[in-house]
Structure 1
Amino acid sequence: MGQMLRGCNMSGIEPRASDYYILDDLLNSEERSLRKIVREVMEKEAAPIMVEYWEKAEFPFHIIPKLSSLHVVGGIIKGYGCPGLSMTATAISVIEMARVDASLSSFIVAHSPLAMLTIAKFGSETQKQKYLPSLAQLDTIACWALTEPGYGNDASSLKATATKVNGGWILNGQKRWVGNSTFADVFVLFARNTSTSQINCFIIKKGAPGLRATKIENKVALRIVQNGDILLKNVFVPDEDWMPGVNSFQETNEILAHARVMVASQAVGLSMGVFDACNRYLKERKQFGAPLAAFQINQEKLARMLGNIQGMILVGWRLCKLYESGKMTPGQASLGKAWTSKIARETVSLGRELLGGNGILTDFLVGKAFCDLESIFSYEGSYDVNSLITGREITGIASFKPPLFDKASRL
């Protein structure tokens, strides 16, 4: 029994077990084909090694060429060597990655829908031609640096500074929780312009003097992802690497809205993987002379998980269609991310219960996914803050900050 799911190998699991309402019927032929390709590569190449690297908290660099071969990096970006996929196809690729391993899907989300899309939307034509082709092939790796030690959900208050000097800019400050940053070749980094007080964006190359990225240790989620603390000490960025299209936090919000759809897709994929693993496990493991799947309470939990997943899939699919038609609002993206990650949390928790003691072993997909989901629940805006973004949109009232209070009340 211990070998059944060891190494998170999903091969042999019914391909539609968790796709009860048949998502394929909502996809076009190209999207269905891409789904199959990504699933096959992830099951063959990623599934057998993920537990080993998760335990070591190391990144499997040898798998990067396999990810590149999927031709999904760059997602919706057209030209510059990028695939120009539909939003739906991009989300499907993330779902199938996260179904096997959430860390690898996070690696791609940081690199592509965050860093690459920022360059594609707001970079100069020269920057697009210079950076996007190699990033699309994963010949170079990017990270996206917004969050700071004191500013997570309140990212618009960031304190890193950019001061204009002859021929470029001097950047100072700190960033935290930046995925891929310990080995990234390109840093897409946000800082506050000291002259205008507005947020600008810069492209910084690996090895720039004064730039240091150190790994955040002792994580219990997404351990394969190399999150880093970034220190900027008088880092010079030439004018050619200042991104002309970012002059406020509004542009950053555009990228975040897109990314939240991708994070919702991660929650969907991770939940699907857990359900499929549990479904197989309960059929094979016997207690009291019968398969665990024969017990009513276990069937009820499986059905609840399955219902959760179908709702998540349909919300995610609808978000993609809204995006493709130009109708998706920030509040819709935020609600999608908040709701799916909350429902995924319940779903994965039920799966952990169903596996009993084996549910806390990383040898089994469920225990690892249970931990990884905690990170997905929190990043790209917590459940609470994303709910408030939606609340602001439907009421017209912003409720992010508590009432003002005087200095004496702080003491």
Structure 2
Amino acid sequence: MSTHEPLGPLDKDYLAADLYGYQGLLTEEENAAVLRTRRFLEDEVRPRANEFWEKAESPRHLLPRLADLDIVGLDYEFDGNPASRKILSGWLSLEFSRVDPSTGTMFTVHSGLAMSSIAILGSDEQKDRWLPAMKRMEKIGAFGLSEPRGGSDVAGGLETTARRDGDEWVLNGSKRWIGNATFADLIVVFAKDEADSEVKGFVLEKGENGFPDGFRAEKIERKYSLRAVENADLYFEDCRIPAADKLENANSFADTAKVLSLTRGGVAWGAVGIMIGAFERAVDYAREREQFGAPIASFQLISDLVARMAGNITASLGMALRVSQLQDSGVRHDEHAALSKAYCTTRLREVVGWAREILGGNGIVLDYDVIRFFADAEAVYSYEGTSQMNNLIVGRGVTGYSAFV
């Protein structure tokens, strides 16, 4: 006989999956931002998440509404207001992914990767020129680093080139998996300078007549993870952009890595959010589904799976939170974010698999949400560095020896 009410986070300020009460570490102001975001996601995103996932379309209509939540670009100083703590932006990533990882990715590509590239690598003039409009969601950002033939070797393997020609730069090459690029207004693009072979960063900006000549974006079709993220292939053919649009402080891959090190920790938070989303759906289902005359939640095998899921969530949440605390204190070692990304996304695969197991045959039906979390976990497991590549970063940090080829 059950002694607990079914999982229902909307009637309480804390998620039932947060067994150790980590949300209590947020300040009152931070918690208010989390709660209004949670309510927005439940009211506006969850009801149509499966619809957009099935259609493979981004819910672009939500973009202006996200600006109203006052959660865009919290990691950066605006108009004299100090940057928020990383624990807040991390927890917001968790909230998005708990409801819809695709919407969460759409948001973090803009607010995280694109805005952080400009905030970290741009000049003061470039920050003033682009970031305020991005914070207001008037200009949507994308981030172009990955390439068709380049994955884990991107540090030395960029094939997209940049050539200085007077007061312009000329870009040639292609990019792949670029989220938001089908509707973005600004695309941060990294390319190898033909003059010195160093990686440089640029901002490709849409004007009144569209993007510059020599550029096109094509949506990637037949994608079965994060389907509501509109990833694109980008093509550059003698695409000319003003010299003023080269990010002033993006002059090597080491500079690019500063952005990745900061945002990689956010992937761990997103992984925890997906775990919680799958966990909530599985527990609710186990309480409602009856077999042999009793809810399956009363069976020992189900309790064992629930406990394993809760353990992975609690450990991963603690790790993601600690990395944010270290970043807030100014301690930013590559191995910190790399370890959390690799560990949390590995545990994520386990949790969505167990959730799928609890639902049995219904686990492959989109109406129950779990198959969406299951599929989306695969993209999160791979992007911003595979587990193997992140483990090499951790190994280098611990031993002092690099095992990279």
Could you say what secondary structure the match of 2:223 adopts?
coil
Could you say what secondary structure the match of 1:47 adopts?
helix
Task: Please name the residue that 1:325 is paired with.
Answer: 329
Q: How many residues align?
A: 393
Q: Say if 2:37 is the partner of 1:38.
A: yes
After TM superposition, list the pairs within 5 Å mapping 1:340-379 onto structure 2.
340-379=344-383
Q: Unpaired runs of 5+ in structure 1?
A: 1-8, 402-411
Task: Please name the residue that 2:135 is paired with.
Answer: 136
Instruction: Quote the Cα distance in structure 2 between the aligned partners of 1:230 and 1:351.
Output: 36
Contact 1:147 1:155 in 2 (8 A): yes
Q: Say if 2:399 is the partner of 1:395.
A: yes
Contact 1:80 1:128 in 2 (8 A): no
Contact 2:338 2:393 in 1 (8 A): yes
Deviations 1:72-129 (A, max 9, x none): 1112101159883210100011100110000111111211211111111111222111
Partner amino acid for 1:293?
A: A
Instruction: Quote the Cα distance in structure 2 between the aligned partners of 1:352 and 1:12.
Output: 26
Partner amino acid for 1:367?
A: I
Could you say what secondary structure the match of 1:48 adopts?
helix
Q: Say if 2:162 is the partner of 1:162.
A: yes
Partner amino acid for 2:299?
A: F
Instruction: Quote the Cα distance in structure 2 between the aligned partners of 1:13 and 1:357.
Output: 31
Matching residue within 222, 225, 242 for 1:221: 225
Deviations 1:184-231 (A, max 9, x none): 110100011111111110011132111111011111100000000000
Contact 1:175 1:230 in 2 (8 A): yes
Task: Please name the residue that 1:5 is paired with.
Answer: none
Matching residue within 287, 292, 311 for 1:283: 287
Instruction: Quote the Cα distance in structure 1 between the aligned partners of 2:311 and 2:50.
Output: 28
Task: Please name the residue that 2:265 is paired with.
Answer: 261
Offset of residue 13 of structure 1 = 9.1
Task: Please name the residue that 1:3 is paired with.
Answer: none
Deviations 1:245-278 (A, max 9, x none): 0111111111101111111010001101111111
Q: Say if 2:191 is the partner of 1:191.
A: yes
Offset of residue 10 of structure 1 = 7.8
Contact 2:176 2:234 in 1 (8 A): yes
223-232 or 25-34, larger mean C-alpha shift = 25-34
Task: Please name the residue that 1:178 is paired with.
Answer: 178
Offset of residue 24 of structure 1 = 2.1
Q: % of aligned pairs identical?
A: 39
Task: Please name the residue that 2:215 is paired with.
Answer: 211
Offset of residue 16 of structure 1 = 2.5
Q: Say if 2:275 is the partner of 1:271.
A: yes
Partner amino acid for 2:350?
A: E
Contact 1:72 1:83 in 2 (8 A): no
Contact 1:75 1:82 in 2 (8 A): no
Task: Please name the residue that 1:409 is paired with.
Answer: none
Deviations 1:316-366 (A, max 9, x none): 110000000111310111010000000011011100100111111111121
Instruction: Quote the Cα distance in structure 2 between the aligned partners of 1:268 and 1:398.
Output: 29
Partner amino acid for 1:192?
A: K
Instruction: Quote the Cα distance in structure 2 between the aligned partners of 1:115 and 1:380.
Output: 14
After TM superposition, what 4+ stretches of structure 1 lie above 6 angstroms from structure 2?
none
Partner amino acid for 2:152?
A: N
Could you say what secondary structure the match of 1:212 adopts?
strand
Instruction: Quote the Cα distance in structure 1 between the aligned partners of 2:312 and 2:61.
Output: 35
Instruction: Quote the Cα distance in structure 1 between the aligned partners of 2:122 and 2:62.
Output: 29
Deviations 1:131-180 (A, max 9, x none): 11111111111100001111111111201111010111111011001111
Could you say what secondary structure the match of 2:370 adopts?
helix
Task: Please name the residue that 2:144 is paired with.
Answer: 145
Could you say what the CA RMSD is over the residues aligned between the two structures, in angstroms?
1.6
Contact 1:267 1:340 in 2 (8 A): yes
Contact 1:13 1:277 in 2 (8 A): no
Q: Unpaired runs of 5+ in structure 2?
A: 1-7
Contact 2:14 2:23 in 1 (8 A): no
Distance 1:81 1:57, change over 3 A: farther
TM (norm. structure 2) is 0.94
Contact 1:72 1:85 in 2 (8 A): no
260-269 or 71-80, larger mean C-alpha shift = 71-80
Distance 1:47 1:82, change over 3 A: farther
Partner amino acid for 1:65?
A: P
Contact 2:186 2:203 in 1 (8 A): yes
